[in-house]
Amino acid sequence: MKKLVATAMAGILAVTMAACGASEESTGETNTSDKVLTMGTSADYFPFEYIDTAKGDEIVGFDVAIAKEVTKNLGYDLKIEDMEFGSLLGALSSGRVDFVMAGMTPTDERKKNADFTDIYFESKNLVMTKDKAITADDELKGKKVGVQLGSIQEALAKDRYKDSEAVSLNKIPEIIQELNTGRIDALIIEDAVAVKYMDQDESLKTYEIKEDGPTGSAVAFKKGDKMRDEFNAELKKMIDNGDIDKLAEEWFQKEAK
């Protein structure tokens, strides 16, 4: 493409550009193997990241779409490693993954071990119950509240609902399952993720938790990693030019799987 444009232009400038274009292209093609960024995620979070069984168990979603675009713009191939949410920051520190994108909220605690980009998606936490609606925090007293292991929802359950029993599990679908079978009374979940389950089950009820500390999603990098700034600049472009909004529209109106 670059070559075509360049050769269409007259004079030395055109020749120089054509040369540049050609060398850029060939480096792009030959170096892809060592230009790979590995993203760590926890693919239990429709529509942020989930396993598409119709696509041969490919991990897809809003986060994956953003990561694909940013890594492409930075000249890298993207590889994805799926693991438990609670293992992600450890995998980042040990260098097993280059960055973490998992609807992860930047908290002060996490910032001690990772550097985050800007927030690319805002969200709220909800308390979800089944059949019998709980509408206020004090009704959670003595109740079992399900949360994902290592999540901000787990911290919230432990700090804010001290009179409740926090039940920590690895995967969001497992927590929903516990609510369905009545082994827990409520769970804490982000609004964008709750939608899927509410669409499928009218007996689920929610209320919003007010003033609950940091929320939203950002990308995590190893502390001091300069790649954070490069990634953030690309992300910011996508926020400013409306690309993130477009992807959000695409993924958040997808029918739940």
Q: CB of residue 249 vs ligand ARG: minimum separation in angstroms?
A: 20
Give just the sign of the alpha carbon dihedral 208, 210, 213, 219.
positive
Of the pair 42, 129, the CB lying nearest ligand ARG is at 42
Q: Is 27 helix (H, G, I), strand (E, B) or coil?
A: helix
Beta strands 186-190 and 44-45, pairing class: unpaired
Region for 108 from its dihedrals, namely left if φ exceeds 0, alpha if ψ lies in -120 to 50, beta otherwise: alpha
Q: CB of residue 185 vs ligand ARG: minimum separation in angstroms?
A: 20
Q: Residue 213 phi/psi, 5° resolution?
A: 85, -160
Q: CB of residue 219 vs ligand ARG: minimum separation in angstroms?
A: 12
Q: CB of residue 107 vs ligand ARG: minimum separation in angstroms?
A: 7
Residue 47: asked if its preceding bond is cis (omega within 30°), the reply is yes
Q: Which residues have CB under 8 Å from 10's CB, separation 6+?
A: none
Sites of contact with ligand ARG (CB under 6 A): 42, 44-45, 48-49, 85, 102-105, 148, 151-152, 172, 190
Of the pair 45, 251, the CB lying nearest ligand ARG is at 45
Region for 216 from its dihedrals, namely left if φ exceeds 0, alpha if ψ lies in -120 to 50, beta otherwise: left
Q: CB of residue 232 vs ligand ARG: minimum separation in angstroms?
A: 18
Task: Tell me the β-bridge partners of 190.
Answer: 125
Of the pair 71, 215, the CB lying nearest ligand ARG is at 215
Of the pair 71, 151, the CB lying nearest ligand ARG is at 151
Q: CB of residue 234 vs ligand ARG: minimum separation in angstroms?
A: 21
Burial of 73 (0-12, 13-18, 19+ CB in 10 A): middle
Of the pair 46, 76, the CB lying nearest ligand ARG is at 46
Q: Residue 176 phi/psi, 5° resolution?
A: -60, -40
Of the pair 73, 170, the CB lying nearest ligand ARG is at 170
